[in-house]
Amino acid sequence: MAQQGTSKPPSVKGLFAASFIGTSIEWYDYFIFGTAAALVFPRLFFPEASPEAATLASLSAFAAGFLVRPLGAAVIGHFGDRIGRKSMLVLTLILTGGSTFLIGVLPTYAAIGIGAPLLLVALRLVQGFGVAGEWGGALLVSTENAGPGRRAVFGSFAQFGVPVGVLTSNLAFLAISGLDDEAFFSYGWRIPFLFSAVLVVVGLVIRARLSEPLEFARAKRERAVSKVPFRELLRRHPRNLILGSLAAIAPPAVGYAVTVYLLTYGTNVVGFERGTLLTLILASTSVWIIAIAVSARLSDRFGAKRLYLAGALTAVVWPIPMFLLVDTGDTGPALVAFLVAAVVQGIMAGAQGGLFTEMFDVKVRYSGISVAYSMGGTVAGAITPLFPALYAAYGSSTPVAIFLTVPGLVSLVAVLGIRRIVADQEAVPLHR
């Protein structure tokens, strides 16, 4: 797409809308699959398996979306670094939103047999491919317009999209949770997926008005754009690419444990009502958003690396107490478990935008941060099906909790070795 208005200073409101609203829509699409994987898909797409096997198969379908994310990040990142951030953000919105809508009209196993789960997985792969390039582009349209000491705060615009995606996806299912089982499983579950079409139109209108970020536009004017960004990324920044990928594991690992596995575990094992757990997740998202905002501001003041280290440390410490609180079966302790988990995620998320932007130079930045983020998310998503397998093997949540501390430990060690590449750029004048 042609660039428009690259010489005009961007507005903070415009950056916020393009980054936050678009990302929120994409993550809404992505997370309703996770919620449905816990509540709906075992029964409708894997009905001939035992309850345990159906849950494992459903969570495996959820994890399949992560397997294609590194490829999607590399492809979309390549064109984002060569052509521009804006056109790729439009593409990711179409891919993710379109596949989500199609899931909403997908026939179930009862209608077409084995074709149903196969189509479900295929659409999940398209979702994963699209969302792989979303975060990087949404982050860069803000951080590449930010000056010294503002990258984390501007990067938080994109980070808010994750908890808001969780919030809206769970609100969508909470709105239909009052339906009786017959209505819920026949048509009710489709409504959140079909509603994605409306959100995609909103997102496309917003992103159509977007201009290329000033730092990238400057690089393009100066012909400093790489012909093969991914090759240059591997040649010039292999250390940060590997360490960034490892550092990116902990936040989604904690997030998927809470929003996907604990939703299944709390309902089927502990005995919580479906609506109760959805409400607890909703309550935690407000804390998650606040934690991101506070962490971003502290990151710009004290350094994104320090804050990310603090968040990774909490990711090591919290899983065991979290499961102990949920296992009580009481709403109060479970709420504490979810709220603190939201703080754990928020600390790392608030620091991540500033940290990852400064790990790669502008020529390979879309590719670098997208691949690192997607690799971390892929590992986190791939281990999600291991949670029910561990519980089935040991009959206790303790091995699951111990296992969940590992991603935090890996990220903690990795972030210690990350080197800052980008020096503070000249401040960009912004309209409010």
pLDDT of 432 above 80: no
Which tens digits make up the pLDDT trace of 38-76?
888 999 999 888 887 888 888 888 878 888 889 999 999
Q: Is residue 16 part of a domain?
A: yes
Among 10-14, 126-130, 165-169, 325-329, which is the least confidently predicted range? 10-14
pLDDT of 240 above 90: yes
What is the domain count for the chain?
A: 1
CATH number at residue 222: 1.20.1250.20
Q: Is residue 391 part of a domain?
A: yes
| Spatial CB neighbours of 20, under 8 Å, sequence gap ≥ 6 | 157, 158, 160, 161, 164
H helix or E strand, kind and range, residue 138: helix 134-143
Q: How far apart are CA 23 and CA 106, in angstroms?
A: 25
Give the per-residue pLDDT at 426: 45
Q: Is residue 348 part of a domain?
A: yes
Q: Is residue 426 part of a domain?
A: no
Task: Give the phi and the psi of residue 11 in degrees, each rounded to 5.
Answer: -100, 150
pLDDT of 420 above 60: yes
pLDDT of 6 above 80: no
Comparison of pLDDT for 331 and 21, the residue scoring more? 331
User: Percentage of the chain surpassing pLDDT 70?
Assistant: 95
Among 90-94, 142-146, 389-393, 426-430, which is the least confidently predicted range? 426-430
Q: Is residue 422 part of a domain?
A: no
Q: Is residue 186 part of a domain?
A: yes
Q: Is residue 4 part of a domain?
A: no
Which pLDDT band holds residue 9 (cuts at 50, 70, 90)? low
Spacing of C-alpha 131 from chain mean position: 8
Give the per-residue pLDDT at 373: 92
pLDDT of 427 above 50: no
pTM as predicted: 0.83
Structural domain including 371 reads: 12-416
Q: Is residue 183 part of a domain?
A: yes
